[in-house]
Chain A
Amino acid sequence: MSKKIIEMQDILLRFYTYEGVVKALEGVNVFVNEDETLGLVGETGCGKTMTGLSIFNLIPSPGEIEGGKVLFRTNDGPIDLLTLKESQIRKIRGEDISMIFQEPSTALNPVFKVGDQVAEALIEHREKELLENTIDALEKDIQSVETGSLKRRRYQIERSIYKKMLKNPNSLSMKILSKIPIIKRYKSRLNKEVRKEVARIFHEMEIADSDRVVDMYPHELSGGMQQRVVIAMALACNPALLVADEPTTSLDVTVQARILDLIRRLKGRFKSSILFITHDMGVIAEMCDRVAVMYAGSVCEVAGVIEIFKNPIHPYTKALLESIPRPGKEFKSISGMVPNLIEPPLGCRFHPRCPMAMEICSKEVPKIKELKKDHFVSCHLY
């Protein structure tokens, strides 16, 4: 069996609001294997996005993760991301795990050029590599100029500064030196290198005219293009895990088809695993290897994509699949409403809407168990 790249164990997330404690996530257990796409489906407010954000330890303010572990596989064995210090997790965010957000127009800062926004991630995580590239380019320039000339001397000074930067970019002397105008100008060579790299990434994202787009502001781009830039930002550092939070919900179907196609091809090239959050069963069927269905803050069924469409076991999964409109059939809906998570129903959270609810369902929370191989369900019926 393939190795788990990330495993979430019994995540407990609460929001402390004035109205009461919102029990947003109640024991979420999911894992993503190497080189697979796990789909996370559920209705609005079921905790899909919060599950994604808890991987990054980026839960917004009144929320607190009160239990559980997020085990991320590294070269030195698994580490729990929730116990890391801010400075440590910063290294991981964006480099090993990154995220594509739902609304590209809000994920991008309107007052910066898109190229600079992508460059930020590059400089943060790949500065060393870029500095090495710059020095290589300088080396070539030095070779091309005759020995003893003034130009050569200037290049050599430049090289020594870059080498110093490479050794320790945050040293005090470097910080002081970079304030001096002439030396500041030397940094332009590094910036050029960064720009080239950004343009290369844009080109890989199939952005037409990538050299020009680097200097554009987000409002100059269409929704599909903006989403490509956001994807470029996420893939800039070649992450091991990509969390895609409804990356195509705000786009048109034709654009959606293009973006999905792009993500699928990039996944093959970058060898990333993807946690794909969506509410569209059609997208799930197309993109994912395995599917986890969420309801009101907990995972109720996990199985392979073919298995879940063919043999859904949990009553909620069944109802969800039946509510997809199909021509010639009457629209089936799930009766009742999504429960309020401040006072969720006792026992199984789906029992008030479940057509097959039994007595035990309102008393005990069902445990998640493996019914068949790789098919997990949390329901008292089984």
Chain B
Amino acid sequence: MNTLLETLELRKYYPIRGGVFRRKVAEVKAVDGVSLRMEKGECLGLVGESGCGKTTYGKTLIRLLKPTAGYILFDTPSDVRLEIKELENSDGNSSRLKKLRKQYDLTTFGWQNLKRMRRKMQIVYQDPTSSLDPRMLIKDIVGEPLKVQGLARGREIREKVVEMLEKVGLGQRQLYRYPHEFSGGQRQRIAIARAFVTNPEFVVLDEPTSSVDVSVRAQLLNLFVNLGKEMGLTYLFISHDLSVVECISERLAVMYVGKIVELANTEKIFRNPLHPYSIALFSSIPVPDPKAKRERIILKGDVPSPVNPPMGCRFHPRCERAMDICRREEPELIDIGNEHLVACHLIKS
């Protein structure tokens, strides 16, 4: 398989300013060293509780936010990626590394290069009511990316927009309407059309189904699967609805306070989660079967603040099986075989 996108130790800190001179007094470590790889044509699920940095990661990934540190390598040949990793480990300041970063690393790109890349990476937001401009006609909303990217002109734009709208289950009749005239599900379809009209390679789906009803949710998920196959897309599917992620993604990453704690094949991780947080998370999904027996692990306490994450393993204050080492050392994400990655001291020993 070919890797389409890879992040290395991606970090995004938000400054908290205070005092008379608006000095930086603290940082919200929203994303704190996330390394993920997305293969061409796959759908990677990213789950976690609200506030764990899922959306920030998704937005940083396509450079809607400027990362604090780390690499984003989009469509980079595998030998270059290897070389970058080697150089990063040996000498972080070599001129060769700088040159490679300028060419491939999205974090160093200026706006002109980014604009070129944006055609290939798109995002569908959670709430279509706020992500669609209420004063724009549907034809303008969906046609705008084409105009900005210079992919089409005049009549061509209209043709492409109609074609895209038909793909998402709308049509020519809807061209001269405003977003408020549509239902929630249809608005989300418009948002999807806008994201997909530039023929992207990679799309971030940021909780695209959380604002719609169950019956509409199934329609949208089908649409994602079908369009994904048709256009050969790679998805990052961010969600907190685990039952949806289970059905749509091939691999699944579990995030907790800015860090990935477990990453594996979706089926495997649902059947056999290893990290104590994933175990608790998966056990708390309500099962739509009244006779199912549940052994629920109920987490005590609250999610720690990303301003001052706990020392060592970030989960240790809530973990039932926390050991001494968990308080001191931060566990690394290690492969325990079959591409199953876990960051936990228990698994290591």
Contact status B240-A258, CB under 8 Å: no
Does A253 touch B at the CB level, under 8 Å?
yes
Contact status B213-A43, CB under 8 Å: yes
Contact status B285-A282, CB under 8 Å: yes
**Across the two chains, which residue of chain B brings its CB closest to A225?**
B302
Does A242 touch B at the CB level, under 8 Å?
no
Q: Which chain A residues (313-355) contact chain B, with CB distance < 8 Å?
A: 319-321, 323-327, 329-334, 337-338
Does A280 touch B at the CB level, under 8 Å?
yes
Contact status B284-A331, CB under 8 Å: no
Specify which chain A residues have a CB less than 8 angstroms from the CB of B286 in the assembled complex.
Answer: 253, 256-257, 260, 280, 282-283, 285-286
Specify which chain B residues have a CB less than 8 angstroms from the CB of A361 in the assembled complex.
Answer: none
Specify which chain A residues have a CB less than 8 angstroms from the CB of B215 in the assembled complex.
Answer: 43, 319-320, 323, 333-334
Known: A279-B214, A286-B286, A325-B246. Is A257-B222 also a contact (CB below 8 A)? no
**Distance from B325 Cβ to chain A, minimum over Cβ atoms (Å):** 24
Q: Which chain B residues (215-265) contact chain A, with CB distance < 8 Å?
A: 215-219, 221-222, 225, 240, 242-244, 246-248
Does A305 touch B at the CB level, under 8 Å?
yes
**Across the two chains, which residue of chain B brings its CB closest to A308?**
B290
Contact status B284-A253, CB under 8 Å: yes
Does B50 touch A at the CB level, under 8 Å?
yes
Known: A279-B213, A319-B215. Is A252-B49 also a contact (CB below 8 A)? yes
Number of A-B contacts (CB under 8 A): 117
How distant is the Cα of A332 from the Cα of B50 in the complex, in angstroms? 28
Q: Which chain B residues (33-56) contact chain A, with CB distance < 8 Å?
A: 49-50
Specify which chain B residues have a CB less than 8 angstroms from the CB of A332 in the assembled complex.
Answer: 218
**Distance from B102 Cβ to chain A, minimum over Cβ atoms (Å):** 40
**Across the two chains, which residue of chain B brings its CB closest to A329?**
B247
Q: Which of B222, B280, B285 contacts A331 (CB 8 A)?
A: B222
Q: Which chain B residues (247-298) contact chain A, with CB distance < 8 Å?
A: 247-248, 266-267, 270, 280-281, 283-292, 294, 296, 298
Specify which chain B residues have a CB less than 8 angstroms from the CB of A255 in the assembled complex.
Answer: 49
**Across the two chains, which residue of chain A brings its CB closest to B185?**
A337
Specify which chain A residues have a CB less than 8 angstroms from the CB of B49 in the assembled complex.
Answer: 252-255
Contact status B246-A254, CB under 8 Å: no
Contact status A285-B292, CB under 8 Å: yes
Specify which chain A residues have a CB less than 8 angstroms from the CB of B287 in the assembled complex.
Answer: 282, 285-286
Q: Which of A44, A257, A309, A338 contacts B284 (CB 8 A)?
A: A257
Q: Which of B183, B243, B292 contacts A337 (CB 8 A)?
A: B183
In this complex, which of B184, B283, B288 has the most chain A Cβ atoms within 10 angstroms of its Cβ?
Answer: B288
Specify which chain B residues have a CB less than 8 angstroms from the CB of A83 in the assembled complex.
Answer: none
Contact status A333-B243, CB under 8 Å: no
Q: How many residues of B contact A (CB 8 A)?
A: 44
Specify which chain B residues have a CB less than 8 angstroms from the CB of A324 in the assembled complex.
Answer: 214, 243, 288
Does A261 touch B at the CB level, under 8 Å?
yes
Does A224 touch B at the CB level, under 8 Å?
yes
Does A263 touch B at the CB level, under 8 Å?
no
Does B299 touch A at the CB level, under 8 Å?
yes
Specify which chain B residues have a CB less than 8 angstroms from the CB of A371 in the assembled complex.
Answer: none
Interface string of A221-247 (1 = CB under 8 A from B): 011110000000000000000000000
Contact status B221-A331, CB under 8 Å: yes
- The range of chain A's interface size is 35 or more
Q: Which of A223, A252, A257 contacts B240 (CB 8 A)?
A: A252
Q: Which of B288, B289, B298 contacts A257 (CB 8 A)?
A: B298
Specify which chain B residues have a CB less than 8 angstroms from the CB of A358 in the assembled complex.
Answer: none
Known: A261-B296, A337-B183. Is A256-B218 also a contact (CB below 8 A)? no
Known: A282-B287, A286-B287. Is A258-B299 also a contact (CB below 8 A)? yes
Known: A282-B285, A286-B287. Is A333-B222 also a contact (CB below 8 A)? yes
Known: A256-B286, A286-B286. Is A333-B281 also a contact (CB below 8 A)? no
Does A306 touch B at the CB level, under 8 Å?
yes
How distant is the Cα of A255 from the Cα of B296 in the complex, in angstroms? 12
Does A281 touch B at the CB level, under 8 Å?
yes
Q: Which of B225, B240, B290 contacts A253 (CB 8 A)?
A: B240
Known: A257-B298, A258-B298, A323-B217. Is A306-B291 also a contact (CB below 8 A)? yes
Specify which chain A residues have a CB less than 8 angstroms from the CB of B301 in the assembled complex.
Answer: 208
Specify which chain A residues have a CB less than 8 angstroms from the CB of B240 in the assembled complex.
Answer: 252-253
Contact status A282-B214, CB under 8 Å: no
Specify which chain A residues have a CB less than 8 angstroms from the CB of B292 in the assembled complex.
Answer: 285
Contact status B284-A254, CB under 8 Å: yes
Q: Which chain B residues (79-119) contact chain A, with CB distance < 8 Å?
A: none
Contact status B247-A325, CB under 8 Å: yes
**Distance from A300 Cβ to chain B, minimum over Cβ atoms (Å):** 14
**Across the two chains, which residue of chain B brings its CB closest to A44?**
B213
Contact status A285-B222, CB under 8 Å: no
**Across the two chains, which residue of chain A brings its CB closest to B270?**
A327
**Across the two chains, which residue of chain A brings its CB closest to B240?**
A252
How distant is the Cα of A306 from the Cα of B302 in the complex, in angstroms? 34
**Distance from A223 Cβ to chain B, minimum over Cβ atoms (Å):** 8
Contact status A325-B244, CB under 8 Å: yes
Interface string of B202-215 (1 = CB under 8 A from A): 00000000000111
Specify which chain A residues have a CB less than 8 angstroms from the CB of B248 in the assembled complex.
Answer: 325
Q: Which chain A residues (18-70) contact chain B, with CB distance < 8 Å?
A: 43-44
Contact status A325-B243, CB under 8 Å: yes
Contact status A333-B216, CB under 8 Å: yes
In this complex, which of A44, A279, A305, A306 has the most chain B Cβ atoms within 10 angstroms of its Cβ?
Answer: A44
| Leading 4 A-B pairs by shortest Cβ distance | A282-B286, A257-B284, A333-B218, A331-B218
A–B complex contacts, Cβ < 8 Å, 28 sampled: A43-B213, A44-B213, A223-B50, A253-B281, A253-B284, A254-B280, A254-B298, A254-B299, A257-B283, A257-B284, A257-B296, A258-B299, A281-B288, A282-B285, A284-B288, A285-B286, A320-B215, A325-B221, A326-B247, A327-B246, A327-B267, A331-B218, A331-B225, A331-B247, A334-B218, A337-B183, A337-B185, A338-B213
Question: Which residues on A are within 8 Å of B, measured CB to CB?
Answer: 43-44, 208, 222-225, 252-258, 260-261, 279-286, 305-306, 309, 319-321, 323-327, 329-334, 337-338
Give 12 A-B pairs besides A253-B240, A261-B298 with Cβ atoms closer than 8 angstroms. A44-B213, A224-B302, A253-B285, A254-B280, A282-B286, A285-B289, A286-B294, A323-B215, A327-B270, A331-B219, A331-B221, A331-B222
